[in-house]
Amino acid sequence: MNLLTIEGISKAYAEKVLFDKVSLGIHEGDKIGVFGVNGTGKSTLLKIIAGVEKADEGTIVQGKKVRIAYLPQTPFLDEKLSILENVVKGKKAEESYRNLEGEAKAMLERLGISNVAALPKYLSGGQKKRIALVKTLLTQADILILDEPTNHLDHEMAEWLENYLNRYKGALLMVTHDRYFLDKVTNKIVEIDRGKLYSYLANYSKFVELKAQREEMTLATERKNRSLYRMELEWMMRGARARSTKQKAHIQRFEQLRDREKIEIKKSIEMQSVSSRLGRKTIEIDSVSKGFDGVNLISDFSYILLPGDRIGIIGSNGCGKSTLLKLINGSLKPDSGSIEVGQTIKVGYFSQENETLDETKRVIDSIRDVAEVIQTTDGTVTASQMLERFLFTGAMQYSLIGKLSGGEKRRLYLLHILMEAPNILLLDEPTNDLDITTLTILEEYLKNFEGIVVVVSHDRYFLDKIVDRIFAFEGNGVVRQYEGNFSDYKIATSQLEKQQINESENKIKKELEKESKEEGIKNSWRKREERPKFTYLEKKEYESIEEEIAQLEERITEIENEMNQCATEYEKLRVLTEEKNKKELILEEKMERWIYLNDLAEKIVAFGGKL
């Protein structure tokens, strides 16, 4: 069933044409990913379909009962309302059984938002985006439109969202640069290229293959047309006269070839390796600790950066990943321990914000301020040539930075860093707001980079391609080292979890066997055959378990009260949330155990026994 159709849509800003008479249909079951280089109009397309912006021409035909939910790239929240009130505002539970507030709290908890009574004005941009995502997901809709939903999600959150969207019954249209996410969620890719739309019935991996085939066919046609044009031009130069119908048709064919839309071989972002010489001594981190507001983020961490290191830093939001980068960069000082930097070290720090960009300057002037020319592995390259290789055409180079899209600014900021020729690259979430084309070339560049790379990223695909060592933040200031890329890390932690479970089960089994011998029964967990009775340990446990349950419930209530009182202290909230989750897990186990013991007590009494 067709839900929505756009027909002959065109959109331009000044002289920049985003779409030229494009059409697209959205049907039931479609899970569409929108692909394109930054600045081609991906977000604009989503806004037009969502009804937020109007096209210059063309029509949108939407079913009468078709409902749309839209997550913008930069969402708005009412700062006078609490987080929970923002999420459920204006929504009605269409099914009588639906508990909107309960669903909202569960989703927010999944995305790291625990204190739902807090006001959003104190939150970071990433937290606001996750709240807006929950608000959008809870909206009853036939078409879900999501602009960069995976930004600011750690890998566990991204996996949860993957599972949610795979179960989602409506149609989906989204922009994301997370390639694993596209692979697992989408069944259709729409590519925006030079004002045209191209549709592929495929996920991301298949799309890459089909796109290459399309481009090769297009280039083959263009090569043929160029050859024909040269022949027709030679015929015209020899003084052909339009005396006959045949000659008139020949001239018309020549004019069509001359005036055709030329297909150029697409430029890609080429980033030659640029770095300064790396000396014998790099950066030595010795027993470093760092915390804020009484919360310890990094505890007694030591490491010596080695030539050729490719390190990925992972962990939940707010755990201290960016803090570690800032310590290495020298913009933060450790609470204890030391960081020694070699004399030849030149750090390039790519932060989450475009800190060095003056939006009142022209693009080319901002790059010339860094360097007029640089030495690459291919020789001397000017600032203008480097901009060309970053897909900044001649016209764009002389435009103001303030007029660039968010992704184009990130690309320019990355060029700023690389033009400084660092020998250690510290990259904080480099995949945010960079299109997939740029990311692919960046990955190739980093593979050939002669210096050291340390990157914070939630992009699993990027980490798999780039890093060979993982620093994982595991809570309470612990930063543990794992060899390999992200997939290797997942395998290692999965094996570790299985080992811990087996050790725990073996420990319980040994305790039960010991208990069985002491009490003269084979297994205290087995059903009593005729006259049930408590073992000595079970009797002691039965006498104390209700008090233990009461204490756990009381502590959980205290934690919730503490969370309500520290709405803006994010690190404290994270610690309290972890404690609450642990207490709730223990409480659940205690309740199951109480049910078993209580049932056994009732059986003992029924058989005339004494407790």
**Average pLDDT for consecutive 10-residue bins of the chain (611 residues)?**
93 87 94 91 94 94 93 92 91 66 90 90 87 94 95 89 93 94 94 91 89 75 66 61 54 64 52 68 95 91 94 91 94 95 92 81 92 77 84 86 86 88 92 84 85 94 94 93 93 78 70 63 47 80 88 86 68 77 84 85 78 69
Residue 250: closest CA among 260, 258, 242, 238: 242
Residue 12 sits at φ, ψ, to 5 deg, of: -145, 150
Burial of 103 (0-12, 13-18, 19+ CB in 10 A): middle
- Give the pLDDT score at 523: 47
- Give the pLDDT score at 529: 47
Longest dimension (CA), the chain: 121
Residue type for position 145: I
Element (H, E) at 124: none
By the 8 A CB rule, do 574 and 115 touch? no
By the 8 A CB rule, do 456 and 448 touch? no
- Give the pLDDT score at 94: 58
- Give the pLDDT score at 470: 96
- Give the pLDDT score at 145: 97
Q: Is the pTM of this model over 0.95?
A: no
| 3-class DSSP assignment, residue 21 | strand
The neighbouring-strand residues paired with 379 are 376
The helix/strand count (H/E) of the chain reads as 18, 20
264: its two tokens: 């150029």
Residue 306 CB neighbour total at 10 angstroms: 11
- Give the pLDDT score at 235: 59
How far apart CA 252 and CA 608 sit, in angstroms, is 108
By the 8 A CB rule, do 562 and 576 touch? yes
How far apart CA 512 and CA 28 sit, in angstroms, is 55
